[in-house]
Amino acid sequence: MAAYALTKAGADVALLEAGDVWYASRDSKMMFPNYASPRRGGSTRLKPFGEFDGCEGGWEIDGEPYTKADGTEFLWWRARMLGGRTNHWGRISLRFGPDDFRGKSRDGLGDDWPIGYNDVAPYYDRVDQLVGIYGSKEGIPNEPDGIFHPPPAPRCYELLIKKASDKLNITCIPARRSVITKPLNGRPACHYCGQCGRGCTARSNFSSPDVLIAPALQTGKLTLMTNAMVREVTLGPDGLANGVSYVDRKTGADLHVNAKVVVLAASALETARILFNSKSSKHPNGLANSSGTVGKYITDTTGSGVSGYIPAMENHAGHNEDGAGGMHVYMPWWLDNKKLDFPRGYHIEVGGGVRQPGAGFMGGIHRYPPGGGYGAQLKKDYRKYYGATISFEGRGEQIPSDDCYCEIDPNVVDRFGIPVLRFHWKWSDHEINQVKHMQETFRSLITTMGGTVFDPMPSKEDGYGIAAGGQIIHELGGARMGADPKTSVVSGNCQAHDVKNLFIADGAPFVSQADKNPTWTIMALAWRTSDYITDQMKKRAL
């Protein structure tokens, strides 16, 4: 987004990307049938979300480790490709609401942001209009409406979910996803093939290479430097950033590129890593770290799920319910925390229906009565039960704490010789109680639908099934923004307090999570930061 906004404003930009060039419009396997592959689309260690998933990267990258302190469970998904994880993300595109910028004022926990919803709202509008998003106007105070394309109609199972939600007084509305349902800027409307996670060859969903990088290249102002693994930000004698040093991943050569302004957008935690590794005698604890808060206050979305079997959906009449590759309805946070034993909310994502079957589909027929078998009976069972499964996933807000942070592991480097991150993570009772509530809610939704839950309620000792830190892949923080340079890394304009020509345009400056997925806010802030850079350059203040 920063490359797009800055080149459009007339700046010459060099974009250093650790991975290779990848455009969904050219490289996606959107229309490839699972049955044509010997692995039936199944996952592998280096392709954990399936053979045709549109991501080069994953939980593990050979030669690029990270480490964890004793007792810490943490997972870090890293993409190594142009556009990063925007090539295969879920495209659930939610604005943070006014309350999400002032958590501390509301309940005394965490910190307030130095900016508010009104500062970001014009940029949300711009992102909506440039990128495109489906949704509906609902007027929910902390779930701001955007400028939406019409949402796709709910599928059969989503109508049943809506019915159960209504009975339980849970708000259930059309989903908000960055998929276009009308033509936009030369991109056609979604044709409902249901394969968003592989990347869209038609460019009907958002991935940054096709929607942002391609038009940025057309300005003639963007130099794309791929396979360039950034090691550190370098400083000139005046103490300002004068470029970055990087390793050419193909040749191993150590190289440097000069710049008047440096914008880090390597994903929140990787940006913290680059800052730590940009050490010098003047910045012994890492660059922009005079506050000691680089790597601190990192958070992920909380997550927990429940799935079940709904007899009313057995043997349903076959019909085309592919739709957009993701949910058509969802449940935003609907309760008042004052009446609950945890602060901050969560939203509910729904899954179900019949998609192209692949390896491991339905989670195994043995889970269904009468438990699978062989031959004709097995085929009959598959036809009967396929589509009779429903799942709910909670996505909630974690409060930043001193227990969750990253630092440089003094003993481990990656294959380029760059020191790696070590993670520390501990959920608090806030998150554990929230996840308990998710489990209870999802179970009552399934029983209200007349269904049976597959697995028993996880115990308190198991954290009620809370996903490991990082597992929901919404890592934020590590270079948070604030008005006070003693307690924050960047200003409200994402400008480093210590180095005025260094900016951050990913999730690292987030002061807190919300009960919303973060990417729409990352993009809105990146655009806002780019406008600030343009303004400051015009004023010759950088």
Closest separation between CB of residue 89 and ligand FAD, Å? 4
Nearest distance from C-beta of residue 50 to ligand FAD, angstroms: 11
Residue 310 CB-half CA count within 13 A: 27
Helix (H) or strand (E) holding 434: helix 429-448
Residue 162 near residue 314, CB atoms below 8 Å:
no
With CB cut-offs between 5 and 8 Å by kind, which of ligand FAD, ligand SF4, none does residue 278 bind?
none
CB of 180 to ligand SF4, least distance (A): 8
Residue from 3, 5, 16, 453 binding ligand FAD (CB under 6 A) = 16
Binding mask of the shown chain, residues 383 to 422, with x at each position contacting ligand FAD by CB under 6 A:
----------------------------------------
Closest approach of Cβ 207 to ligand SF4, in Å?
10
Cβ–Cβ under 8 Å, residues 248 and 227: yes
Question: Considering the complex, what minimum distance in angstroms separates the CB of residue 415 from ligand FAD?
Answer: 13
Alpha helices in 98-169 (DSSP H): 103-107, 117-131, 156-167
Task: Answer whether 394's CB lies under 8 Å from 305's CB.
Answer: yes
**Torsion sign, CA atoms 140, 146, 150, 152:** negative
CA–CA distance, 331 with 158 (Å, rounded to integer): 11
d(CA 248, CA 225): 10
Q: How far apart are CA 266 and CA 342, in angstroms?
A: 33
- Kind of pairing, strands 346-352 and 389-396? antiparallel
Q: Measured from the CB of residue 213, what is the shortest distance to ligand SF4 in angstroms? A: 18
Nearer to ligand SF4, 131 or 525 (CB): 131
Closest among 522, 515, 400, 396 to 467, alpha carbons compared: 396
Residue with smaller CB distance to ligand SF4, 323 or 400:
323
- Other Cβ atoms less than 10 A from the Cβ of 356: the count is 14
Residues 77-136 binding ligand FAD (CB under 6 A) are 77, 79-81, 84-86, 88-92
User: Minimal distance in Å, beta carbon 356 to ligand SF4?
Assistant: 12
Residue 306 binds which entry of ligand SF4, ligand FAD, none, CB below 5-8 Å type-dependent: none
Nearer to ligand SF4 by Cβ, of 213 and 467: the residue is 213
Burial 6-19 (b: 16+ CB within 10 A, else e): bbbbebebebbbbb
Binding at 270: pick from ligand SF4, ligand FAD, none (beta carbon under 5-8 Å per type): ligand FAD
Q: How far is the CB of 90 from ligand FAD (least distance, A)?
A: 3
Residue from the set 230, 310, 362, 388 that interacts with ligand FAD by CB under 6 A? 230
H/E segment holding residue 445? helix 429-448
**What does 90 bind: ligand SF4, ligand FAD, none (CB cut-off 5 to 8 Å by kind)?**
ligand FAD
* Residue choice 11, 170, 179, 266 for contact with ligand FAD (CB under 6 A): 266
DSSP track, 202-248 = T--B--HIIIIIHHHHHTT-EEEE-SEEEEEEEE-TTSSEEEEEEEE
* Least distance from ligand FAD to the Cβ atom of residue 507, Å: 5
In angstroms, what is the minimal distance from the CB of 179 to ligand SF4?
A: 5
Question: Interior CA angle at 288 toward 285 and 294, to 5°?
Answer: 65
Partner whose footprint covers residue 146, from ligand SF4, ligand FAD, none (CB < 5 to 8 Å by kind) = none
d(CA 276, CA 264): 13
Q: What is the largest CA-CA distance in the chain?
A: 77
Window 188-227: contact mask with ligand FAD (x via CB under 6 A) = ----------------------------------------
CB of 92 to ligand SF4, least distance (A): 13
In angstroms, give the least distance from the CB of 178 to ligand SF4: 9
The partner in contact with residue 519, picked from ligand SF4, ligand FAD, none with C-beta cut-offs of 5 to 8 angstroms by kind, is ligand FAD
Task: Tell which positions 38-77 bind ligand FAD, by CB under 6 A.
Answer: 77
Alpha-carbon span 146 to 140, nearest angstrom: 12
Query: Should residue 481 be labelled a site residue for ligand FAD when binding is judged by CB under 6 A?
Result: no
Q: Count residues near ligand FAD (CB under 6 A).
A: 31
List the one residue from 2, 5, 18, 61 that touches ligand FAD (CB under 6 A).
18
| Binding letters toward ligand FAD, positions 488-517, x by CB under 6 A | ------------------xx---------x
81 closest CA partner among 244, 197, 228: 228
Q: Which of residues 444-473 bind ligand FAD (CB under 6 A)?
A: 473
Q: Is the peptide bond before 114 cis (omega within 30 degrees of 0)?
A: no
Indicate the Cα dihedral angle 536, 537, 540, 542, nearest 10°: 80
Nearer to ligand SF4, 196 or 247 (CB): 196
Partner residues linked to 134 by β-bridges: 149, 177
Whether the Cβ atoms of residue 329 and residue 350 lie closer than 8 Å to each other = yes
Q: Binding partner of residue 88 among ligand SF4, ligand FAD, none, CB under 5 to 8 Å per kind?
A: ligand FAD
Binding residues for ligand SF4, per CB under 6 A? 30, 179, 190-196, 200, 202, 204-205, 324-325
How near is the Cβ of 278 to ligand FAD at its closest, in Å?
A: 11
Q: Note whether 4 and 213 are within 8 A (CB).
A: yes
Positions that interact with ligand FAD (CB under 6 A): 16-19, 77, 79-81, 84-86, 88-92, 228-230, 265-267, 270, 473-474, 506-507, 517-519, 522
